[in-house]
Amino acid sequence: MNQDQSQDTNQVNQDPSTNDLELLASVKEQAMSALAKLLPNITDIDPAQKFDISINALRSTDRIDLVRPTLQAALDIQDNQQQANSLLELVSEINYLIDSKKPQA
């Protein structure tokens, strides 16, 4: 790709249309819905990896229904220090969700 094409691509990426944003939001919601359905059935991966997937899904969507699967993933971690860090990370995310739902004064 030459420099002019690169600049054109960057300009398109910086200025998406409303339709582009709606499409991206729709695809994101579909992907997150599919992921939320899969999370309880994922059993053949490391619990820490499952927690990482779960916490990232929670952060990406702020969907309250992902809190419990994320908690369970953290509780399934066998290493005490890693489990404690994961639980603290989840508590921090829950605090963010609570603060973001509070009415502004």
Q: What pLDDT is recorded for position 18?
A: 84
Q: What pLDDT is recorded for position 4?
A: 53
Q: Under 8 Å CB-to-CB from 15, ≥6 apart: which residues?
A: none
Q: What pLDDT is recorded for position 41?
A: 86
Q: Which residue in 73, 12, 64, 15 sits closest to 39, CA to CA?
A: 73
Q: What pLDDT is recorded for position 12?
A: 47
What are the 10-residue block averages of pLDDT along the chain, 105 residues in total?
53 70 90 86 91 93 91 96 98 94 76
What is the tally of structural domains in the chain? 1
Helices (H), 1-105: 3-14, 18-38, 47-61, 67-75, 80-101
